[in-house]
Structure formats: C-alpha cells, structure tokens
C-alpha cells in the first residue's frame, strides 16, 4: 500500500475502533437502564418479603408486652438475617419519633433521613435515601404505631451488575480489535488495495509497452475501469493481429514486399510486448492477507474448545470410572498434539504435490469433521478418534497457510510474510479461548463445537475464494540436492543441540501443553471459575506472547542474548508456577499463565535462532529444512507428553501441587540449560558466518 492508502487504512481502523467502543458503551448504558427497570421491582419485593417476616417476629415480641426499646438481641438477629441475604444492606428499627433504636449493616442513612412507615397493608415502594433504597414498614403494638422497621438495599445494586460485566466487555473489545486487525486489512486489500495495485501495475506495464495483461473483472469502480482498460489492451492486440494477418496475406501475394513489410512491422513492435496469439491474460497477484485471515479463522476454530476441553473430556471419561483417571483426561490432549506433530511432514508432502489451495481445503474439511465429531462423540474412544482427525486437519491447514505465505511472499519480504502468518495464528489463539469460554457457558459444549466446525467451514470457503487465483500455490523452487540421511545422527551427536532440546525446547512445550491446556482449565474449574473465566485466563497467555514476543525477539537479535533470554524465560515460567501450592487461588493461576506467556515470548524465538547458530555445520550439510524439521518434531513430541505427565502427577498430588511440581521442573531445567551453556558457550569456534534465514514459529 502506498503511504496515502496506509493513512486511509489507519483512519478506517481508528474509525472502526471508535465505533466498536461507542456501541459497547451504548449497549451497556441501555442494559443499565433496562436492568434497573426490571430488577428494582424484584429487589423491592425481596425487601418487602424479608421486612414482613422480620416484622412478624418483632410484633410478636411487642404483643408479649416487651417495650420496643428493650427488645434483647435484635441487632444480632438482624445480623443473621443480613448474612443469609447478602443483597440487603441493612436492617434498622426506629421509634415513633424517628430515633434509631436498633441497626445492623452498611450504608445506613444519617439520623435525620430516616422516614416513618405508613401502612403495612399497602406499603409504598422503597425510596432512595443516601446510597441505599429504604423500605419503611410499620411496627404495631395493639393497633398502635410503635415504630418503623427499615429494610435497606444498596442503591448501586444494578450498576454493580453492569460493573461486574466491565471485564467481559473489555475482553470483547480486545477480541473485536484483534478481529478488526484481521478483517479490515483483508477487506481493504481485497476491495481496494489489491485491485488498485493490480490496476497500477497493469497501467505501468502498458506505459512500458507491455500489452500482455488484462485485469480481473468486478462490479465496482475499480472493476469498471478495469473493463475499459481491458477494452484498450484487447483492442490494441486485436488490431495488431489483424495487421499481421493482412501482412501475411500480402507477403504470400507479393514476395518482393517481404523486406519492406518486415521492417515496418519491426518498427511497430519496437519497445512493445504483445500478448501471444493476441490474447492477453488476466493479471493476478498473491493474496497474503487472505492467507492470514484463513489462518486466523482455522486457529480460531481449533482453539475455541481449548478452555473447556479437559472438562469436556472428563464428562466422557466419567463413563469409564467415577471419578475418572487423570490419565484419561490427558490422553485426548496428547493424541491431538502427537497426531498433529506426526502429520506435519505428511501435510508438507501433500502441499508439495497438490499446492496450498487443495491442501487447505482438505485440511478445512478434516478439521470441520473432527470438530463436529468431537461435539457429537458417543463415547470416550470415538472422542479420541475425532480429536486425532481434528489434529490431522490442523496439520494440513497449518502447513498450507505457512507454505502459501512462504511461497508467495517476495524474496526480500519472506520474514514479513512469516510474521503475517504468526500474527494470524496468535490472534486466533487469543480470540478462540475467550469466545469459546463464553459460548460454552451460554450455549453448551455441542453447540460451541458446531460453531467451531462452522468457522472451519468459513476458513475453507475463504481459502477457496482467496487462495485459488494466486500465481503460485506451491513452492516453485525445488530444494537443492543435499544428502537426506544422517541428519538425526548428526544432530544427536551435536551436544549443544541435545542440551538445548533436553533442557529448553522440550520443557518449554511440555509446560505449555501440560500446564496451559490441561492443568489450568481443570484447576480453575475446581476453584469455582466458569468456562468464560477460564477462557479469559487462557487468553492472557496469547496476549502476553503476541505483544511481547516480537519485541523480545528483536532485543535478543540486537544484543545477541539468545541464550540469556532462553534461560531467563524458562526460569520465569517455572517460578510463576511454584506459588500455587501455597496460595491455591485464581489469581495465582492467572499469574502463572502470565509468567508462562512472558517466559515463552522470551525463549521461543531465541531458541530458533540458537538452533540455527549451534547447528551451523548440520545446516550447511543438510539444509535448514531437515534440521529445523527435526527440532520442531522433537519439540512437539515434548508438547505431546505434557498433558500425560501432568495427568500422572495430578493423580498423585492433586492440581495445585502438580503446578508447583511443574514449576520446580521448569526452574531445574532452565538452571541446567543456563549452567550448561555458560560452561560450553554457544559457538564451538569463532563465528564469522551469517546465520541462514528461518521462518518464525508460533509461540
């Protein structure tokens, strides 16, 4: 996009954010007004019910002849009633002259504001007194007004309900911003930026004498201009073809004119390139933003079930044993990660053969079937099958999107293309859990899985629409001929690589999958959190990783502190999990998730950079693909073991102690990693060669 178009896009984005904020404020104000109208009569009725019951007891005492001012234990009795009815603020008794005799609770009005009750038969509604609604009921002693009973409720009861929603509304805003960041570039790109760029490119080519291209037709302003331009290009090519045809006829009829005709036609063509056979081709360009949106959608679909997946699995595992074994709850999570890890190479092979479009469609269909099947599973065993199918779809989609972006990004903008893929992936993994939790709370598990399947279908349709017309859908440059065997042997004998895998890469993924995907949902649920709240906590991991990851990666590159950041990130992750045994509450879990997000943001990108540095001989020999492929496979296998290891520990120790144990494991491995690399150093010999470029991986 040109600067002007970027400025327009920024303007559009800001306008959208303002609109989103305005509509959220608008609907919240309406809700506050509507809640007040509906809830206040209910609150009034509650106050009347409690007041009437208390009144009966006080009047019974008065009938026994005890004066109102000398009733024993009234304040304690009020305390008991208030404790059982937390939506009430206070109870008080005033004498006939309005003097307070007994009172208990909060928000009590000042002495001069207490009113006097009128009639119990037809009591007036509660009136606003200070910070409370006050309902005054008469206390009668033998038909004589002995005083008033006051029942108070917090006047901010309704606004408190709305205030409690503020956190949810803020989450919706964040998600809307992330979706806007995905959607708006796509729409602007598809409807304006890309067609305009194509238009400008074809105009520039015509200006340079290249008359080989037309533009794809559409029904908007750009499309109309494209139609006119196509008329021009087609007209010029046709006129040229007619001329050539006439010249051919003439050459046959008058052989003497051949030289003159050739000279004339050569002069005509000079500086111009015409379409072969006079038929210009439509000019297409790759749709990287479309691939990013498709990535966002499929990750959104896959992650929608993340905050409640262990809880969902537990309902099936109950049929095999009540309470179910923790292993059974962890098993489907492991099956998913393991299947995805093992199918990545197969998906890569499919991508090479069939291209990104077909691989993506196949992946979307598999993901859709897997998610729908998960939601409708009959028992634990077919649930395992559906999770495996979902993982295969995930692997296909992951590979297709990543491959499409790498294959279509210009050579000098490969890293930018990679970042585009990672940002789509991260945005999906933030929005998915947050929305999934809310949906599961409101519409249930099966309907949420149906929504996820619909999203997968949406991703497939988007890919059909956007990725199909690309100039390039599979890697065009075949990999250079290199030896294929011996890479594993070579890498395992690289001591630094083995050390990095054992004490940084595997523990990082193990903790991520074991803690975030298994322990967090189960622990938070046990602590009384709803699925929406679990989703919000899980989402914080993605937020921390998305916003801090790129900055920390840049810092690591700038100051060459990859090893330091990996060690510090591992330590932070571990330290964040340890307090759970001592303070088992939601806040500690939340702090653990944030530390995990920060720790992973610190260590994931530097890990990749460190692999390329310490495996330089292997990369030179086998190429970066097999080396990084092996690294990622081992890392993912570590991730697959996470839920099972945590499940084993949780069965023995319970969730809080398991979190602490995971934290201790994190601290130990990070310490061993740091000590090992402090002793060995990063480079076996002085480093004077540049590192090969690599594509970033999601956190």
Partner 1 sequence: MYLKITAAITTLIAFVLGLAVLMNYAKFERAFSSLTESRLAFLVQDLRETLEFGLDLGLDPAAMANTASILAREAAKDPQILSILVFDDQGQVLHRHQREALIHPLRDLPPGWFETALRTHSTATPWRASDPDTLIVGATLTNNFGRVVGGIALRYDRSFHDRELAQALAGLTQAAGLILLAAALIALMSVWLLFRSARRDLNRVGVALTRFLEEADHPAFQPGRGSKLEAGYAAAEQSSREFRRRLRQAERILHLEQRLSNQGKADD
Closer CB to partner 1, 293 or 608, in the complex: 293
Q: Which of 132, 136, 192, 537 binds partner 1 (CB under 8 A)?
A: 192
Which long-range CB contacts under 8 A does 160-164 form with residues at least 24 apart? 161/35, 161/39, 162/28, 162/31, 162/32, 162/35
Residue 153 CB contacts under 8 Å (≥ 6 apart), including other chains: 43, 46, 47, 87, 88, 89, 126, 132, 133
Distance from C-alpha of 293 to C-alpha of 291, rounded to nearest angstrom: 5
Going by their DSSP bridges, the two strands 90-94 and 210-211 should be labelled as unpaired
Q: Which of 63, 127, 128, 204 binds partner 1 (CB under 8 A)?
A: 204
Beta carbon of residue 179, minimum distance to partner 1 (angstroms, whole number):
6
- What are residue 140's DSSP bridge partners? 145
Distance from C-alpha of 645 to C-alpha of 341, rounded to nearest angstrom: 18
Beta carbon of residue 112, minimum distance to partner 1 (angstroms, whole number):
31
Distance from C-alpha of 513 to C-alpha of 333, rounded to nearest angstrom: 8
What is the footprint of partner 1 within residues 107-166 (CB under 8 A)?
161-162, 164-165
DSSP string covering 241-271, please?
HHHHHHHHHHHHH-GGGHHHHHHHHHHHHTT
Closer CB to partner 1, 227 or 692, in the complex: 227
DSSP 8-state assignment for residue 503: I
What is the footprint of partner 1 within residues 660-699 (CB under 8 A)?
none
Of the candidate spans 138-146, 180-188, 286-294, 598-606, the one that interacts with partner 1 by CB under 8 A turns out to be 180-188
Of the candidate spans 138-146, 185-193, 352-360, 658-666, the one that interacts with partner 1 by CB under 8 A turns out to be 185-193
Beta carbon of residue 234, minimum distance to partner 1 (angstroms, whole number):
11
Beta carbon of residue 28, minimum distance to partner 1 (angstroms, whole number):
7
> What count of other Cβ atoms lies within 10 Å of the Cβ of residue 15?
11
Beta carbon of residue 209, minimum distance to partner 1 (angstroms, whole number):
6
What is the footprint of partner 1 within residues 411-440 (CB under 8 A)?
435, 438
Closer CB to partner 1, 268 or 555, in the complex: 268
Closer CB to partner 1, 261 or 590, in the complex: 261
DSSP 8-state assignment for residue 690: P
Q: Which of 61, 107, 145, 187 binds partner 1 (CB under 8 A)?
A: 187
Beta carbon of residue 496, minimum distance to partner 1 (angstroms, whole number):
48
Closer CB to partner 1, 204 or 413, in the complex: 204
Of the candidate spans 59-67, 217-225, 297-305, 574-582, the one that interacts with partner 1 by CB under 8 A turns out to be 217-225
Residue whose C-alpha is closest to residue 146's, from 62, 204, 82, 71: 62
Closer CB to partner 1, 153 or 331, in the complex: 153
Closer CB to partner 1, 254 or 678, in the complex: 254
Radius of gyration of the chain measured on its C-alpha atoms:
35
Q: Which of 83, 111, 203, 319 binds partner 1 (CB under 8 A)?
A: 203
Q: Which of 208, 416, 526, 683 binds partner 1 (CB under 8 A)?
A: 208
Site membership for partner 1, residue 547 (CB under 8 A):
no
Closer CB to partner 1, 449 or 517, in the complex: 449
Closer CB to partner 1, 80 or 625, in the complex: 80
Of the candidate spans 179-187, 306-314, 330-338, 689-697, the one that interacts with partner 1 by CB under 8 A turns out to be 179-187
Beta carbon of residue 535, minimum distance to partner 1 (angstroms, whole number):
12
Of the candidate spans 117-125, 218-226, 474-482, 574-582, the one that interacts with partner 1 by CB under 8 A turns out to be 218-226
Q: Which of 67, 113, 221, 346 binds partner 1 (CB under 8 A)?
A: 221
Closer CB to partner 1, 439 or 627, in the complex: 439
Helix axes 326-375, 309-317, angle to 10 degrees: 100
Counting Cα atoms < 13 Å in the Cβ hemisphere of 84 gives: 7
Of the candidate spans 4-12, 575-583, 595-603, 608-616, the one that interacts with partner 1 by CB under 8 A turns out to be 4-12
Q: Which of 6, 106, 113, 191 binds partner 1 (CB under 8 A)?
A: 191
Q: Which of 76, 200, 416, 683 binds partner 1 (CB under 8 A)?
A: 200
Going by their DSSP bridges, the two strands 210-211 and 273-274 should be labelled as parallel
Distance from C-alpha of 654 to C-alpha of 523, rounded to nearest angstrom: 9
Distance from C-alpha of 158 to C-alpha of 151, rounded to nearest angstrom: 17
Residue whose C-alpha is closest to residue 233's, from 261, 203, 194: 203
- Find how far residue 239's CA is from the centre of its chain: 56
From residue 596, give the alpha-carbon distance in Å to each of 142, 562, 699.
70, 18, 11
Contact 603, 673 (CB under 8 A): no
Distance from C-alpha of 616 to C-alpha of 621, rounded to nearest angstrom: 9
Beta carbon of residue 228, minimum distance to partner 1 (angstroms, whole number):
5
Closer CB to partner 1, 274 or 383, in the complex: 274
The 3-class SS string of 107-163 reads: CCCCHHHCCCCCCCCCCCCCEEECCEEEEEEEEEECCEEEEEEEEEEECCHHHHHHH
Q: Which of 75, 116, 236, 561 binds partner 1 (CB under 8 A)?
A: 236
What is the footprint of partner 1 within residues 52-111 (CB under 8 A)?
52-53, 84-85, 87
Please state whether 67 falls in left (phi above 0), alpha (psi between -120 and 50) or beta.
beta
Count of residues that bind partner 1 according to CB under 8 A: 93
Closer CB to partner 1, 169 or 464, in the complex: 169
Distance from C-alpha of 99 to C-alpha of 112, rounded to nearest angstrom: 9
> What count of other Cβ atoms lies within 10 Å of the Cβ of residue 439?
23
What is the footprint of partner 1 within residues 435-494 (CB under 8 A)?
435, 438, 441-442
Site membership for partner 1, residue 184 (CB under 8 A):
yes
Q: Which of 172, 527, 664, 668 binds partner 1 (CB under 8 A)?
A: 172
Beta carbon of residue 540, minimum distance to partner 1 (angstroms, whole number):
18
Q: Which of 224, 281, 413, 554 binds partner 1 (CB under 8 A)?
A: 224
Site membership for partner 1, residue 222 (CB under 8 A):
yes
Of the candidate spans 13-21, 141-149, 358-366, 593-601, the one that interacts with partner 1 by CB under 8 A turns out to be 13-21
- The dihedral over CA atoms of 450, 455, 458, 460, expressed in degrees to the nearest 10, equals -100
Residue whose C-alpha is closest to residue 245's, from 231, 232, 261: 261
Q: Which of 106, 113, 257, 493 binds partner 1 (CB under 8 A)?
A: 257
Instruction: Return the SS3 of 499.
Output: helix
First to last CA, the chain: 28
Beta carbon of residue 581, minimum distance to partner 1 (angstroms, whole number):
30
Beta carbon of residue 484, minimum distance to partner 1 (angstroms, whole number):
46
What is the footprint of partner 1 within residues 261-280 (CB under 8 A)?
261, 264-265, 267-268, 272
């Amino acid at each position: 996009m040109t600067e002007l178009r970027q400025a327009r896009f920024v303007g559009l984005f800001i306008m959208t954010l303002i609109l989103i904020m305005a509509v959220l404020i608008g609907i919240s104000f309406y809700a506050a007004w509507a809640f007040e109208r509906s809830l206040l009569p209910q609150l009034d009725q509650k106050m009347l019910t409690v007041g009437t019951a208390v009144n009966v007891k006080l009047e019974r005492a008065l009938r026994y002849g005890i004066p109102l001012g000398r009733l024993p234990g009234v304040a304690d009795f009020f305390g008991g009633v208030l404790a059982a009815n937390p939506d009430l603020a206070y109870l008080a008794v005033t004498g006939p002259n309005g003097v307070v005799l007994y009172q208990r609770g909060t928000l009590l009005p000042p002495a001069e504001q207490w009113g006097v009750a009128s009639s119990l038969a037809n009591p007036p509604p509660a009136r606003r007194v200070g910070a409370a609604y006050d309902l005054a009921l008469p206390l009668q002693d033998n038909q004589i007004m002995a005083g008033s009973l006051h029942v108070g409720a917090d006047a901010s009861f309704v606004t408190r309900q709305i205030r409690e929603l503020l956190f949810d509304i803020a989450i919706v805003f964040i998600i809307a911003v992330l979706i806007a960041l995905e959607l708006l570039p796509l729409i602007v790109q598809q409807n304006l930026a890309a067609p305009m760029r194509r238009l400008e490119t074809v105009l520039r080519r015509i200006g340079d004498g290249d008359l080989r291209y037309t533009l794809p037709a559409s029904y908007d302003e750009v499309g109309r201009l494209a139609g006119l331009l196509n008329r021009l290009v087609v007209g010029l090519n046709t006129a040229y073809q007619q001329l050539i045809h006439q010249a051919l006829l003439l050459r046959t009829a008058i052989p003497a004119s051949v030289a003159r005709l050739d000279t004339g036609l050569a002069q005509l063509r000079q500086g111009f390139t015409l379409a072969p056979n006079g038929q210009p081709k439509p000019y297409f360009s790759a749709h990287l933003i479309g691939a990013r949106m498709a990535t966002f959608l499929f990750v959104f679909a896959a992650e929608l079930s993340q905050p409640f997946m262990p809880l969902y699995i537990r309902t099936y595992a109950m049929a095999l044993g009540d309470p179910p074994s923790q292993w059974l709850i962890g098993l489907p999570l492991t099956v998913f990660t393991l299947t995805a890890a093992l199918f990545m190479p197969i998906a890569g092979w499919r991508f090479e053969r069939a291209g990104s479009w077909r691989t993506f469609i196949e992946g979307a269909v598999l993901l859709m079937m897997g998610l729908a099947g998960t939601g409708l599973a009959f028992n634990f065993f077919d649930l395992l099958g559906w999770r495996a199918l979902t993982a295969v779809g995930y692997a296909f989609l992951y590979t297709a999107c990543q491959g499409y972006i790498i294959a279509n990004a210009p050579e000098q903008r490969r890293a930018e293309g990679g970042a585009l893929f990672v940002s789509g992936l991260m945005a999906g993994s933030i929005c998915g859990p947050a929305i999934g939790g809310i949906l599961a709370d409101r519409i249930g598990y099966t309907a949420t899985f149906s929504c996820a399947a619909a999203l997968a279908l949406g991703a497939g349709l988007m890919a059909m629409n956007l990725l199909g017309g690309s100039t390039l859908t599979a890697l065009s440059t075949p990999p250079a001929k290199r030896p294929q065997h011996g890479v594993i042997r070579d890498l395992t004998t690289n001591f630094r690589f083995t050390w990095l895998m054992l004490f940084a890469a595997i523990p990082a993924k193990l903790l991520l999958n074991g803690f975030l995907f298994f322990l967090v949902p189960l622990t938070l649920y046990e602590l009384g959190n709803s699925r929406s709240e679990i989703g919000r906590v899980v989402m914080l991991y993605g937020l921390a990783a998305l916003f801090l990851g790129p900055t920390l990666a840049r810092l690591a590159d700038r100051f060459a502190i990859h090893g330091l950041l990996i060690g510090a990130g591992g330590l932070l992750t571990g330290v964040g999990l340890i307090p759970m045994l001592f303070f088992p509450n939601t806040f500690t879990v939340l702090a653990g998730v944030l530390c995990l997000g920060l720790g992973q943001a610190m260590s994931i990108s530097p890990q990749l950079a460190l692999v390329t540095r310490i495996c330089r001989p292997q990369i030179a020999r086998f190429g970066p693909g097999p080396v990084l492929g092996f690294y990622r496979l081992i890392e993912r296998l570590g991730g697959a073991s996470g839920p099972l290891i945590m499940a084993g520990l949780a069965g023995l120790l319970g969730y809080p102690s398991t979190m602490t144990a995971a934290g201790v494991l994190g601290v130990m491995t990070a310490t061993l990693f740091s000590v090992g690399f402090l002793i060995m150093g990063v480079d076996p010999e002085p480093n004077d060669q540049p590192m090969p470029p690599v594509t970033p991986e999601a956190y």
